[in-house]
Every structure is written in structure tokens, then in C-alpha cells.
Amino acid sequence: MQIKENYLLKKLNTFGIQAIAKYFVELNSIQEIQEIIKSSHFKNNPYLLLGGGSNILFTKDFDGIVLKINNKGKEIIAVDADNVFLKVQAGEVWESFVDYCILNNWSGIENLALIPGNVGTSPVQNIGAYGVEVKDCIEKVEVLRIADGEIIELNNNECKFGYRNSIFKQEAKNKYIILSVTFKFSKKPTLITHYGDILKELENMFVTPSLENISNAIKNIRRCKLPDYTLTGNAGSFFKNPTVSKEKYEALLIEYPKIRAFPSGNDYKLAAGWLIEKSGWKGKSLGNAAIHHKQALVLINKGNATGNEILALAKAVQHAVLNLFGVELEMEVNVV
């Protein structure tokens, strides 16, 4: 374990922002994580936990220690007639893990193919796409409690999962380091094909639904709609889809009959991409930051954008949507 000084984080955040960490350390095992939290570098500095760097926007250098969580490993811990239970270390790369499950014919996360990030950060914002959220497959999350170094487990209920939300973004923020996630997958696939263009894409591919075909269909749709962060810096959806009351939705519907919305309990979830597009920002730039021309929910780094340029664009979009629709957009990305 080596603590580096003045470390450039550009390659470690999918926005590709040029931020510098005063101290940086890569942690390849739970032992190293336990060791670092006892160190003076950790105790005497602010710290930042970094997984795949796919949901973070640096607006300044980080004047503290960045911990890159990188412990790897996958272990089957139980199998029964219908399910397999898998304990996966936090530093495993999400995309490869999804492919590994498909190869083994374990079903549950195939609709979450090609999402950038790591296994250990998937519960934090309860990643979701194409009709599935990761919470549907999580049994428990193993964490290290920073206050006393104890390793404890939180079951699915205790994680308080919600739409792009969990205890790790709320009351437990900065209290725990996620070490591993235990998943429950089905050995008998339940295929989820109702969402968006999945069926249409399967038809285009001339294939029938299967774990692998669904995952490939979703990869095709994502590649077509979303920019590749290795070429164009971005962090996926920058905002959450906002929830409004039935009354607010019905009022908007009178004025905007084409508004895209989905029932969500007693409320309605509005498609933020549609709101942003209607506010006129789709494809527009502000300095070196822009709104993606194919998906208005995605902000991109056109080249050498600073975090503050991206943030200024995000605020301009929030302002425009609030002015036009009276709806507040909440950022999904963590701004540091």
C-alpha cells in the first residue's frame, strides 16, 4: 500500500475532470482498508471514497486523502434449488461482473449491462435501468464502520433502498466503507423485456429473449443513446427523474399533453430528459460543457471542461426547467 502525493484523478473519474488529490491510495484488500483508517494520513485529513468514479463531479482539487477501493474477488456462498448466493468484493468492475453472471446463466442483473462503476458502489445509488434496480438482487452489504473499525452487515431492509437512493447516501453517508455485496440470483431466468425498446431491439437482432440476448439488446440501446465515457467524459444521467403529485402532473398534462411520465405510487415520475429537451437545452453548450444531443439527461465534457463549467450548465438547466414547468431537478451525481 503506497500513499501518493498530488495525484491526478483525471483517469479515475468518468467525466475526465483534471482534479488533483493531495493524497491518494489504492486499497487492494480488506486488510489494507483496515490499515489505512488507522493511519495518521486518514485521521488528519478529509477523505473521499472512490469506486469506479462514474457518479462524481470534481469542481476543485481534493485537499485530503482519496481512497480508491479496489479489493477483488467473487465467491459462491450458497446454492439452493432455485438460487445462487454470491459474495462479491467492492472493487470488482460492474460491467464484467454482469457478463460473468450471464456466462453462468444466473439471472437478475442482465438488464443492468454496461453501467459504468464498481460492485461496491452499486448499492449506494441503487443503480437501475430497463425495469430493474440492483436492490432487487441484493441480500446484504458488508461494511467497515469507520468510527470503530468494526465490520458489520446490513441486510436489504437496513439499506433503505429507494429510487437512486439508499442509507449510504443519507444517514450513513461517510460512516461506512462498503467492502462486499452479497447477491441472490435466480438459476431459472425471469426475463424482463417490457421496458422501452428492448423487444424492438431483440426483433432487430432477429433473436428470441434470453439472458445473453437481452443483455446484448440493452448494450446496443445504451451504445446508441449514451456517450462512451472513454471518448466523451460523462456520468450517465446527471439528474434524477423528478417525482410530482398527481395534481401537479394533471396540471402539467393540460398544458403539455405530450409530457412523458410514469405512475409512481400515488405520485408521478416525470422524464427529466423530456423536460430538459422541451426547455430547449438538448445539444446546447455552455463553455466546454454540453447537453448530449441524443439524451438530454446526460451532461458531457466536450474536451477540457472544468467541473465548475459542468456545474454551471447543470444549474442553468435546473433554472430553465424550474421556470418553464415549476419542477425542481435534483442532481444524481455527487458534486465534490
Does position 129 interact with ligand EPU (CB under 6 A)? The reply is yes
Does position 24 interact with ligand EPU (CB under 6 A)? The reply is no
Cβ proximity of 293 and 283 under 8 Å: yes
- Those residues whose C-beta lies under 8 Å from the C-beta of residue 67, and which sit 6 or more positions away, are 25, 27, 33, 36, 42, 47, 48, 49, 50, 177
The burial of 263, by beta-carbon neighbours within 10 Å (0-12 exposed, 13-18 middle, 19 or more buried), is given as exposed
Q: Which stretch binds ligand EPU (CB under 6 A): 74-82, 83-91, 169-177, 266-274?
A: 266-274
Which of 91, 108, 233, 273: binder of ligand EPU (CB under 6 A)?
A: 273
**How many residues interact with ligand EPU (rule CB under 6 A)?**
17
Does position 130 interact with ligand EPU (CB under 6 A)? The reply is yes
Q: How far is the CB of 332 from ligand EPU (least distance, A)?
A: 6
DSSP structural state of residue 259: -
Q: How far is the CB of 34 from ligand EPU (least distance, A)?
A: 32
Nearer to ligand EPU, 184 or 282 (CB): 282
Partners of 153 in the β-ladder: 142
Q: Coil, strand or helix: which one is 320?
A: helix
Nearer to ligand EPU, 140 or 282 (CB): 282
Residue with cell 442482465: 110
Does position 282 interact with ligand EPU (CB under 6 A)? The reply is yes
Amino acid making up residue 257: P
Please count the other Cβ atoms lying within 10 Å of the Cβ belonging to residue 319: 12
Does position 295 interact with ligand EPU (CB under 6 A)? The reply is yes
Phi, psi of 311, deg, nearest 5? -65, -40
Does position 136 interact with ligand EPU (CB under 6 A)? The reply is no
Does position 219 interact with ligand EPU (CB under 6 A)? The reply is no
Could you say which residues in the range 163-202 bind ligand EPU, by CB under 6 A? Answer: 196
Q: Coil, strand or helix: which one is 210?
A: coil
Does position 121 interact with ligand EPU (CB under 6 A)? The reply is no
Which of 9, 124, 297, 317: binder of ligand EPU (CB under 6 A)?
A: 297
Helix axes 211-225, 94-103, angle to 10 degrees: 150
Q: Is 164 a catalytic residue?
A: yes
- For the chain, give percent helix, strand, coil, nearest 5: 30, 30, 40
Q: Which residues are catalytic?
A: 164, 237, 332
List residues near ligand EPU by CB under 6 A: 129-130, 196, 236-237, 240-241, 260, 271, 273-274, 277, 282, 295-297, 332
